[in-house]
Amino acid sequence: MSIASTQQKGFWAILWDYLTTVDHKKLGNMYIAAGAFFFVLGGIEALVIRIQLAKPENDFISAGLYNEMITMHGTTMIFFAAMPILIGFMNAIMPLQIGARDVAFPFLNSLGFWLFLFGGIMLNLSWFLGGAPDAGWTAYAPLSIQSPGHGMDFYILGLQLSGAGTLMGGINFLVTIVTMRAPGMTYMRMPLFTWTTFVASILILFAFPALTVGLFLLMFDRLFGSAFFDVALGGNSVIWQHLFWIFGHPEVYILILPAFGIFSEIIPVFSRKRLFGYTSMVFATFLIAFLGFMVWAHHMFAVGLGPTANAIFAVGTMAIAVPTGIKIFNWLATLWGGSITINSAMLWSLGFIPSFTIGGMTGVMLGATTADYQYHDTYFVIAHFHYVIVGGVVFGILAGLHYWWPKLFGKVLNEAMGKIAFWFFFIGFHLTFFIQHFLGLMGMPRRYWVFLEGQGLDTGNMISTVGAFLMGIGSLVFIINVVYTTVKGEKAGNDPWGDGRSLEWSISSPPKEYNFKQLPLVRGLDPYWIEKMEGNKKMTPAQPVNDIHMPNGSILPLIMTIGFFIASFGFIYQVDNNLWLIALFGGMAIALGSMLARSLVDDYGYHIHKEDLEKEVD
Amino acid sequence: MNRWMGKIKALILLGFVSLVLAACGKENLTALDPKGYGAEVSMDIMILSIIIMIAVFVIVMLVYTVAIIRFRRKKGQENYIPKQVEGNHKLEIVWTAIPIVLVIILAVPTIFTVFDLADDADASESISIDVTGNQYWWHFNYSNEEIQTSQDMYIPVNEKVYLNIDSADVIHSFWVPTISGKMDANPENTNTMYIEAYEEGVYWGKCAELCGPSHSLMDFKIVVVSQEEYDQWVEDMKSVDPEAEPETASAQEGKDLFEANSCIGCHAIGSSPSAVGPNLTNFANRTTLAGVEDLTYENLVDWLMNPEALKPGNKMTGNYPELSEDEASSIAEYLLGLDHSEINPESAGNE
Amino acid sequence: MTENTSMSKLNSYQNHKSKEEMKHQVITFALMIIFTLIAFYAVAVDMDKIFVIPLILILAIVQVGFQFYYFMHMKDKGHELVALLIFGGIWVAAVAILTFTTIIWW
Amino acid sequence: MSQEHTLDPNNLPKDPAKSTLEGKHKFLGLWFFLGGETVLFSCFFATYLALKNSTAGGPTSQDLFGLELVFIMTILLLTSSLTSVYAIYHMKNYDFKKMQLWFGITALLGLAFLGFEIYEFYHYITDYGFTFRSSAFGSAFYTLVGFHGGHVVFGLSWLIALMVRNARRGITLKNASKFNTFSLYWHFIDVVWVFIFTVVYLMGMVS
Ligand code: HEA
Ligand code: HEA
Ligand SMILES: [Cu+2]
């Protein structure tokens, strides 16, 4: 348990360490790594989609496979790439920003990670077990009920597992932020990334249960013969759409708000200027979250909900432009009058502003119901949401990776390669998606396996495909950069950018397992900056050096997850053969047994002793 | 970097211009050249919104560009610390208020048009057609006229037509971009919307809600003809005799095969309500085969022998005995004789 | 620590306060039972639908308020944030139920 | 065992459940979780309300429901809420035996409730042939009420595990918060039931 020496550990010891860790930083990195893996997977699926659509009536892949491809692309990207990477940042960075030594529930944190990972594995195993889900990431009933094979079942259980993990993460972050802020870190001194983590967690808390319910209904219909969506027995498929979008729209803000938080950290640092309109930024974040729950039917304008509902939801949707606008203008005002350095992290942030603004504006256009009757389910919508998701969330993730890489891994990413990657990706991105607005309006619906020859759609689609490959090259350069940096990169100091403002820059890169030897005393917004400006090189401690209490690692989260994983297979295959009920009950027994074990054995953690701490150098 | 930025801007602009030059896509498919009431109303809102958006975007980009250029850290400024501005209430109020105003400008006409397009006051005295989406074809039932047909819908020009849309299986969505926006075809209810076409012509319709493997092949057409032609068509369709003798012997053979192989069990000819498969009354007058292919003899024979090759996952595959090439040819000949109306897509002028 | 600590060690003020609180809780419980009785009675005697449904819904909401505020101590200090989040949840719940009862009509 | 978790008899914290950081975390965590559960159950309720008349020719709510059984179940569960309040009261007074006693009664009431619920379902299935698969109404009914029942089962297992595990330990700062979170959870189950008996049973019987 000594932390004084970095003793050489064997491979198995390291593996065991990662399998049992409850350290928020390690889990954060694991989230990011797994998310990156799924991003490449989803990206390859995107490339397959674009190859298929490169020319009219192409037969690169079959119709059924195409539907599997788009479903898996959408599901993987949203649930297993974008969200986990953001949760990874929340895990790794947020506790550092509020001056905490860990999250409130380290055990739950690890459970959440494993549930997410096995959910993703579950979903992707469908490729090898008779076919992937093929009803779109939105899984509209009754198509999803009638979908043959077990693909949809993997979708349902995979999302159910990872959704449970996400919910745990959300609650964990909320409690952490409420109870574990360092002395002096009042709510209105929290960095914006912490704020957006907080608000996104609230969204998770209220949005995911709707998905959980929807998935249960789908699962009961598919696996246990209930009749929620069976019209012959009085079922109603519109219920699924409501449940999905009650979750689905807040979900897009779960994605974008943390990205907003990341930009709100980066832009001030590289403008050397405090964030303009901090209070209104916080307020706007809450307003977006609040309004986010009242707009979901804008995905259902064509369902036939009636003019009153359509009009109300149209107004709600457009209203979101206002708080988002506040944010955009505050960022611009932060740049204004600053002293701007443009490096890779900043490039991604600057690329974000115009790209996201375009995406947001097409969002408002979609919100105008009458026009949406034309846009709906066409490539215009595809263009809209890739503009906000890629131009907002993915840019945010990449900006955050460049910005926090030194903090996470102790090395600064290579600048030259960072810029090359940016330009390839940025140009490819606009090439791919800008043209799609027009394709949509020219009569190309989305989820089309082929488009016909002679309908004026050929050139646009070709351009789009070329763009996608440029994005692929950009991503590859980034991956090479990561490898290169890991091998050759220079070591980073505590504050490699020189202008760090928040607490994470006041400690070593990467931080010690206990983060702060002494909890820092926070004297205002941007605490580290304040200390630097007043001539102190570092934070004033709020307490003397004391023993630090640490939680014990545990293998139970992994075992519990494996239990649920096995049980999921039981659920899926019991329709074919009753023997699978053994897997169902066996898996459940493992999961519940490890839960019981957890609650029966008191875990008091351990202490890092004062004497050892004093030997440490910062 | 600025140099780069300029190049990219130029590139994007170039792309944009070339697009505008390439017109707005294919006539009678694009939503950008509306020839019907719904599409026109949508277009108006689109134009209003795009004007607002361009204005907003220009402002954002102006501030953005100036900020990046003017406030770039220059040589010798390495230790310069700019003023740490907390905020500015006046500015913040301005950029809250202006978007609110813009949003209201967009919201008000949106609300009015939403109610306008949902108005069904004239439903009882207008032509009304029951539209049913099926995997992967469309059925049209002119309930007042007792006419059944599939794939090609005939309507008179400049006339409000009410569509009662539902689905026989999964959710589909009825979309004819040039005439009107979409309406979903749900299995559990009937949605009503009206369309009105301003010009004669054949308009492409597409299914816009994922409905299975052949979702992208579920095209249909609206054939807009003059009022007289429409009346004529109704007349012709009503007087079709499903039992009429085909002209040639091989067509007669085809008819027998059609009946013997229980094709007739799914495909009605005439006004029979049976609608497991498309109604074939005026099959030979169709614009396309199966919605997407040229209606030629060869294509039809291929389709009859192996529909799966054209439309994966369709409901016809495997539901009838395998056909030899000869048998398929006879049936094709029979089907291509089903041109019971003088009114066909050519009457609509285009194509 | 296996021994039970006896009541006597608590200071009497605190003791008094929790006694007081207990009284409230019993009253709360009695009210809940009464509300339940009224609701069941209203249905049993077959009153007019227009009247019964709002009545029993209001009774339920008040009863649940009791549960939250008295049994679950939401009225106590230190529950502000908790209340905020619960009301957040209730808000989302209300919007969801409202739409499901209005625009899913077929 | 670390000294942090044992009680110093001369310096008893006022509220043992929230006197440690861990206790505070548990307390907040559970409340936030209940916020999520509110949405979860509201979605089940919403689905039920949308489908309650979709009986597909099968039994309707008026055919099925009877007041007596539901009334008994309601009283049982409401009372169990009170008894758990008593238990927590005694916990705050560090009276372990009484706490165990009242929690014991809570568990028994919960079990009785569950027994009646199982009887009720059995009755519908055998006497009316009304199952989970009969109609959309059937699916929605069993899912909503069944999920609540599932929560009761989980709560009971939790309670019994806690009681057994701590039977010989008495109240400590570590387990006080566990008992407290359990009781919050149990109250919430009661809250949900109040809406179930009102919205499902009572409203289902009003003609
Ligand atoms: C990160 C993800 C993300 C984000 C942030 C958004 C943001 C928004 N989205 Fe988007 N959306 C998606 C992801 C996202 N969306 C996805 C994935 C889908 C498709 C799902 C599927 O069907 O598969 C979708 C679909 C979608 C639809 C349904 C389209 C259809 O299927 O027919 C609509 C309709 O209203 C919509 C609207 C909006 C609006 C109004 C915003 C707003 O929040 C945008 C606000 C931002 C701005 C407006 C820009 C900045 C503001 C200013 C500069 C101020 C001044 C501006 C004005 C006055 C206009 N979105
Ligand atoms: C976070 C969300 C996210 C992200 C990041 C993306 C990213 C991309 N998406 Fe998106 N997409 C969705 C979410 C997302 N998508 C959703 C939700 C749908 C709707 C699905 C549905 O309809 O149900 C959709 C649908 C969708 C469609 C429409 C399909 C259809 O309707 O028929 C298309 C088509 O162009 C597309 C393209 C792309 C492209 C080109 C990218 C690019 O940005 C990807 C860039 C990344 C790469 C190119 C990967 C890089 C890989 C490497 C560097 C490794 C290389 C290794 C080897 C070659 C071995 N996507
Ligand atoms: Cu949305």
This complex has an ipTM of 0.93
How many structural domains comprise chain C? 2
Tell whether the model's pLDDT for residue B255 goes beyond 60.
yes
Q: Is D198 on the interface with C (CB under 8 A)?
A: yes
Compute how many other C-beta atoms are within 10 angstroms of the C-beta atom of residue D110: 23
pLDDT of residue A55: 93
- Mean pLDDT of all residues in C9-24: 66
Disruptive mutation site among A167, A171, A241, A305 for chain C (greatest number of C CBs within 10 Å): A305
Identify the band that residue A4 occupies on the pLDDT scale cut at 50, 70 and 90.
Answer: very low
Would you say the C-alpha torsion A226, A230, A235, A240 has a positive or negative sign? positive
Least confident of A476-480, B166-170, C50-54: C50-54
Tell whether the model's pLDDT for residue C1 goes beyond 50.
no
Phi, psi of C27, deg, nearest 5: -60, -45
Decide which of A544 and A87 is more confident. Answer: A87
Q: pLDDT tens digits, residue range A471-513?
A: 999 999 999 999 999 998 888 889 999 899 999 999 998 999 8
> Could you give the 3-state DSSP secondary structure of residue A452?
coil
| Residue B11 DSSP symbol | H
Identify the band that residue D10 occupies on the pLDDT scale cut at 50, 70 and 90.
Answer: low
Tell me the residues surrounding ligand 3 (ion) with CB < 5 Å: A 249
| Residue D200 DSSP symbol | I
Statement to judge: residues C87 and C104 lie in one domain: yes
pLDDT of residue A435: 95
Decide which of A601 and A122 is more confident. Answer: A122
**Residues B290 and B137: beta-carbon distance below 8 Å:** yes
Q: Select from 3.30.300.30, 1.20.120.80, 1.10.510.10, 1.10.3470.10 the CATH code of D18-205.
A: 1.20.120.80
Tell how far the Cα of A426 is from the centroid of ligand 2, in angstroms: 15
What residue spans of chain B are helical by DSSP H?
Answer: 2-21, 37-70, 89-117, 227-238, 249-260, 297-305, 307-310, 325-336
Q: How far apart are CA A267 and CA A402, in angstroms?
A: 13
Return mean pLDDT, chain A. Answer: 93
Statement to judge: residues A429 and A535 lie in one domain: yes
Tell whether the model's pLDDT for residue D2 goes beyond 50.
no
| CA angle, C60 then C64 then C65, to 5° | 115
Return the closest-CA partner of residue A379 out of A430, A433, A460, A436. Answer: A436
Whether residues C85 and A297 touch (CB distance < 8 A) is answered with no
User: Which residue in this structure is represented by tokens 């110093």?
Assistant: D8
Domain limits, CATH 2.60.40.420, in chain B:
127-351
How many structural domains comprise chain A? 2
Q: Closest CB to A373: pick one of B42, B92, B219.
A: B42
- Mean pLDDT of all residues in A596-613: 84
CB proximity list for D204: less than 8 A, separation 6 or greater:
D52, D61, D62, D64, D65
pLDDT of residue A118: 97
pLDDT of residue B338: 87
Statement to judge: residues C55 and C88 lie in one domain: no
Length of chain D as a residue count: 207
Tell how far the Cα of A359 is from the centroid of ligand 1, in angstroms: 7
Does some domain include residue A6?
no
D positions 7-36 inside 8 Å of C (CB): 7, 9-10, 12, 14, 18, 28, 31-32, 34-36
| Residue B348 DSSP symbol | G
| CA angle, C48 then C49 then C51, to 5° | 70
Length of chain B as a residue count: 351
| Domain extents in chain D | 18-205
pLDDT of residue B213: 94
pLDDT of residue D9: 61
Q: pLDDT tens digits, residue range D146-195?
A: 999 999 999 999 999 999 988 888 888 878 888 999 999 999 999 999 99
Statement to judge: residues A451 and A567 lie in one domain: no
Q: What token pair was written down for B88?
A: 């500015």
The Cα of B100 is separated from the nearest Cα of chain A by a number of Å equal to 6
A310 in contact with ligand 1, CB cutoff 6 A: no
pLDDT of residue A1: 39
Tell whether the model's pLDDT for residue D137 goes beyond 90.
yes
pLDDT of residue A603: 79
Q: Is B182 on the interface with A (CB under 8 A)?
A: yes
- Tell me how far the alpha carbon of residue B13 is from its chain's centroid: 30
pLDDT of residue B351: 43
pLDDT of residue A311: 95
Tell whether the model's pLDDT for residue C3 goes beyond 80.
no
**Closest chain D CA to residue C52:** D206
Residue nearest to atom 20 of ligand 2 (CA): A74
| CA angle, A90 then A91 then A95, to 5° | 90
Q: Which ligand is nearest to the CA of B97?
A: 1
Q: Which residues pair with B185 in a beta bridge?
A: B172
Statement to judge: residues C66 and C93 lie in one domain: no
Q: pLDDT tens digits, residue range B24-69?
A: 778 889 999 999 999 999 999 999 999 999 999 999 999 999 999 9
Residue nearest to atom 22 of ligand 2 (CA): A136
- Cα within 13 Å of Cα(B293), Cβ side: 16
User: Which residue in this structure is represented by tokens 């550092």?
Assistant: A96
Decide which of C27 and A163 is more confident. Answer: A163
Whether residues A179 and D133 touch (CB distance < 8 A) is answered with no
Statement to judge: residues A303 and A342 lie in one domain: yes
Statement to judge: residues C57 and C14 lie in one domain: yes
Among A53, A70, A439, say which to mutate for ligand 2: greatest number of ligand atoms within 8 Å of CB: A70
- Cα within 13 Å of Cα(D89), Cβ side: 23
Phi, psi of A584, deg, nearest 5: -60, -55
Statement to judge: residues A398 and A451 lie in one domain: yes
- Mean pLDDT of all residues in A449-461: 92
- Mean pLDDT of all residues in A157-180: 95
- Mean pLDDT of all residues in A375-390: 96
What residue spans of C1-79 are helical by DSSP H?
Answer: 12-44, 49-66
Q: Which atom of ligand 1 is nearest to the CA of A292?
A: 43
Q: Which atom of ligand 2 is nearest to the CA of A137?
A: 23
Beta-carbon pairs below 8 A across chains A and B = 304
Q: Closest CB to A202: pick one of C88, C103, C104.
A: C88
Statement to judge: residues C64 and C80 lie in one domain: no
A251 in contact with ligand 1, CB cutoff 6 A: no
A471 in contact with ligand 2, CB cutoff 6 A: yes
Residues from chain A contacting residue D162 (CB–CB below 8 Å)? 599
CA A332 to each of CA A195, B77, B89, B307: distance values in angstroms, whole numbers, following the listed order: 20, 21, 15, 58
pLDDT of residue A543: 87
Does some domain include residue A1?
no
Q: How far apart are CA A500 and CA C5, in angstroms?
A: 52
Return the closest-CA partner of residue A301 out of D125, B191, B51. Answer: B191
Q: How far apart are CA B160 and CA B126, in angstroms?
A: 6
Tell whether the model's pLDDT for residue A27 goes beyond 70.
yes
What share of chain A has pLDDT > 70, as a percent? 98
Q: How far apart are CA A110 and CA A116, in angstroms?
A: 10
Statement to judge: residues A263 and A366 lie in one domain: yes
A324 in contact with ligand 2, CB cutoff 6 A: no
- Mean pLDDT of all residues in A266-272: 96
Determine the topology of domain B127-351 in CATH.
Immunoglobulin-like (2.60.40)
Tell how far the Cα of D129 is from the centroid of ligand 3, in angstroms: 42
Domain extent at residue C33 = 2-75
Tell how far the Cα of A70 is from the centroid of ligand 2, in angstroms: 8
A384 in contact with ligand 2, CB cutoff 6 A: no
CA D76 to each of CA C58, D145, D163, D180: distance values in angstroms, whole numbers, following the listed order: 22, 16, 21, 21
pLDDT of residue C105: 66
Helix (H) or strand (E) holding D116, with range, is: helix D96-128
Tell how far the Cα of A367 is from the centroid of ligand 3, in angstroms: 9
pLDDT of residue C79: 83
Statement to judge: residues C23 and C43 lie in one domain: yes
- Mean pLDDT of all residues in B236-252: 84
pLDDT of residue B274: 75
Determine the topology of domain B37-117 in CATH.
Helix Hairpins (1.10.287)
Does some domain include residue A8?
no
Tell whether the model's pLDDT for residue C21 goes beyond 80.
no
Q: What token pair was written down for A348?
A: 């991604």
Whether residues A235 and D138 touch (CB distance < 8 A) is answered with no
Q: How far apart are CA D141 and CA D129, in angstroms?
A: 14
- Mean pLDDT of all residues in B74-89: 89
Max CA separation in chain C (angstroms): 65
Residue nearest to atom 24 of ligand 2 (CA): A74
Return mean pLDDT, chain B. Answer: 89
What share of chain B has pLDDT > 90, as a percent? 60
Q: Is D194 on the interface with C (CB under 8 A)?
A: yes
Domain extent at residue A135 = 19-554+603-615
Disruptive mutation site among A238, A249, A303 for chain C (greatest number of C CBs within 10 Å): A238
Q: pLDDT tens digits, residue range A291-345?
A: 999 999 999 999 999 999 999 999 999 999 999 999 999 999 999 999 999 999 9
Q: How far apart are CA B234 and CA B347, in angstroms?
A: 14
- Mean pLDDT of all residues in A551-555: 91
Tell whether the model's pLDDT for residue B207 goes beyond 50.
yes
Beta-carbon pairs below 8 A across chains A and C = 32
Return the closest-CA partner of residue A560 out of A517, A513, A597. Answer: A597
- Cα within 13 Å of Cα(A410), Cβ side: 10
Q: How far apart are CA A30 and CA A409, in angstroms?
A: 12
Q: pLDDT tens digits, residue range D83-134?
A: 999 998 888 888 889 999 999 999 999 999 999 999 999 999 999 999 999 9
Q: How far apart are CA D44 and CA A537, in angstroms?
A: 56
Statement to judge: residues C82 and C71 lie in one domain: no
Identify the band that residue D136 occupies on the pLDDT scale cut at 50, 70 and 90.
Answer: very high
Identify the band that residue B76 occupies on the pLDDT scale cut at 50, 70 and 90.
Answer: confident
